[in-house]
Structure 1
Amino acid sequence: MLSKRIIAVARGRNFLRPQQLQNASLILTRARVAQFHSSRLLQEETVKVPQMAESISEGTLKSWSKKEGDIVALDEEIATIETDKIDVSVNAPKAGKIVKLLASEEDTVTVGQDLFVIEPGEFEDESSGSSAPTESESKPPKESKEKDSTEPKDQQVDKELPKPPAPSASDKKADPVDPPKPKEQKTPKKEDKPAPVSKGEKSTPAPTPRAPGSRGETRVKMNRMRLRIAERLKQSQNAAASLTTFNEIDMSALVALRKKYKDSIKDEHDVKLGFMSFFARASVLALKEIPVANASIEGEEIVYRDYVDLSVAVATPKGLVTPVVRNAEGMSLIEIEKEVAALGKKARDGKLTLEDMSGGSFTISNGGVFGSLYGTPIINLPQAAVLGMHTIKDRAVVVDGQIVVRPIMIVALTYDHRLLDGREAVTFLVRLKEYLEDPAKMLLTA
Structure 2
Amino acid sequence: MKTINIPLPKIGESTTEAKIVEWLKKPGDFIKRDELFAVIGTDKVDSEIFSEYEGTLKEILVKESEEVSVGTTICTMEVDDAVEEKVIASNETLKQSVETVSEIKNTKLTPRNSEIVAFLSPVVRKMAAENGLSLEDLQKINGTGENGRIRKQDVENFLKPRKQNTSTPFVEEKLQLKVELDETLEPLSKMRKLIAENMEKSWRSIPHVTTFMDVNVTKLVAYREEIKEKFLQENVVKLTYTHLIMKAVIDAVKVYPTLNSWFNNEELLEKKNINLGFAAALPDGNLIVPNIKNAQNLSVVEIAKQVSEIGTRAKNGKLKPDDIQDTTFTVSNTGMFGSESGTPIISRPQVAVLALGNILRRAWIIEENGEEKILPQSVMTLSLSYDHRIVDGALASKFLTEIKKNMERY
Give the TM-score band, short-chain normalised. 0.5 to 0.7
- Residue identity in the other structure for 1:413: L
Instruction: State whether structure 2 residue 354 is matched by structure 1 residue 387.
Output: yes
- State how far apart, in whole Å, the 2-side matches of 1:409 and 1:346 are: 29
Structure 1 residue 215: Cα displacement:
4.5
Counterpart among 383, 399, 424 of residue 366 in structure 2: 399
User: Which residue of structure 2 aligns with residue 260 of structure 1?
Assistant: 226
Counterpart among 188, 195, 202 of residue 222 in structure 1: 188
* Paired residues for 1:179-328 under 5 Å: 215-316=181-282, 317-328=284-295
User: Which residue of structure 1 aligns with residue 314 of structure 2?
Assistant: 347
In structure 2, runs of 5+ residues without a counterpart are: 1-179
- Larger Rg belongs to: 1
User: Which residue of structure 2 aligns with residue 429 of structure 1?
Assistant: 400
Q: Which digits, 9 at most, give the CA deviation of each residue in 1:127-149, with x for residues without a partner?
A: xxxxxxxxxxxxxxxxxxxxxxx
Counterpart among 372, 384, 390 of residue 413 in structure 1: 384
The CA RMSD over aligned residues, in Å, is 1.3
Counterpart among 320, 329, 339 of residue 372 in structure 1: 339
Q: Is the 8 A contact 1:226 1:318 kept in 2?
A: no
- Residue identity in the other structure for 2:301: I
User: Which residue of structure 2 aligns with residue 187 of structure 1?
Assistant: none
The 1:215–1:374 alpha-carbon spacing in structure 2 relative to 1, beyond 3 Å, is farther
The 1:251–1:299 alpha-carbon spacing in structure 2 relative to 1, beyond 3 Å, is same
User: Which residue of structure 2 aligns with residue 361 of structure 1?
Assistant: 328
- State how far apart, in whole Å, the 1-side matches of 2:376 and 2:313 are: 38
Secondary structure at 1:226's aligned position in 2? Answer: helix
Q: Is the 8 A contact 1:310 1:364 kept in 2?
A: yes
- State how far apart, in whole Å, the 2-side matches of 1:254 and 1:398 are: 17
Structure 1 residue 299: Cα displacement:
2.8
Instruction: State whether structure 2 residue 409 is matched by structure 1 residue 438.
Output: yes
Q: Is the 8 A contact 1:225 1:318 kept in 2?
A: no
- State how far apart, in whole Å, the 2-side matches of 1:221 and 1:396 are: 47
Secondary structure at 2:224's aligned position in 1? Answer: helix
Structure 1 residue 318: Cα displacement:
4.4
Q: Which digits, 9 at most, give the CA deviation of each residue in 1:231-253, with x for residues without a partner?
A: 00000101111000000111111
Structure 1 residue 309: Cα displacement:
0.3
Q: Which digits, 9 at most, give the CA deviation of each residue in 1:353-387, with x for residues without a partner?
A: 22111110000000111111121111011101001
Q: Which digits, 9 at most, give the CA deviation of each residue in 1:163-195, with x for residues without a partner?
A: xxxxxxxxxxxxxxxxxxxxxxxxxxxxxxxxx
- State how far apart, in whole Å, the 1-side matches of 2:273 and 2:325 are: 15
* Paired residues for 1:32-181 under 5 Å: none
* Paired residues for 1:5-16 under 5 Å: none
- Residue identity in the other structure for 2:332: S
Structure 1 residue 312: Cα displacement:
0.7
- Residue identity in the other structure for 2:377: R
Q: Is the 8 A contact 1:250 1:409 kept in 2?
A: yes
TM-score relative to the length of structure 1: 0.49
Q: Which digits, 9 at most, give the CA deviation of each residue in 1:280-323, with x for residues without a partner?
A: 11111111221111111133321011210001112433422001
Q: Is the 8 A contact 2:253 2:259 kept in 1?
A: yes
Identity of aligned residues (%): 35
- State how far apart, in whole Å, the 1-side matches of 2:271 and 2:325 are: 16
User: Which residue of structure 1 aligns with residue 37 of structure 2?
Assistant: none
- Residue identity in the other structure for 1:295: S
- State how far apart, in whole Å, the 2-side matches of 1:434 and 1:240 are: 29
User: Which residue of structure 2 aligns with residue 136 of structure 1?
Assistant: none
- State how far apart, in whole Å, the 2-side matches of 1:224 and 1:359 are: 22
- Residue identity in the other structure for 1:393: L
Instruction: State whether structure 2 residue 309 is matched by structure 1 residue 334.
Output: no
TM-score relative to the length of structure 2: 0.54
Q: Is the 8 A contact 2:254 2:296 kept in 1?
A: no
- State how far apart, in whole Å, the 1-side matches of 2:307 and 2:193 are: 26
- Residue identity in the other structure for 1:327: N
- State how far apart, in whole Å, the 1-side matches of 2:318 and 2:272 are: 30
Q: Is the 8 A contact 1:281 1:333 kept in 2?
A: yes
- Residue identity in the other structure for 2:306: E
- Residue identity in the other structure for 1:424: L
Structure 1 residue 396: Cα displacement:
0.6
- State how far apart, in whole Å, the 1-side matches of 2:202 and 2:266 are: 18
Q: Which digits, 9 at most, give the CA deviation of each residue in 1:196-250, with x for residues without a partner?
A: xxxxxxxxxxxxxxxxxx9521122211111110000000101111000000111
In structure 1, runs of 5+ residues without a counterpart are: 1-213, 440-446
Secondary structure at 2:213's aligned position in 1? Answer: strand
- State how far apart, in whole Å, the 2-side matches of 1:423 and 1:276 are: 25
Q: Is the 8 A contact 1:243 1:416 kept in 2?
A: yes
- State how far apart, in whole Å, the 1-side matches of 2:391 and 2:266 are: 15
- State how far apart, in whole Å, the 2-side matches of 1:219 and 1:354 are: 33
- Residue identity in the other structure for 2:249: S
- State how far apart, in whole Å, the 1-side matches of 2:344 and 2:198 are: 13
Secondary structure at 1:255's aligned position in 2? Answer: helix
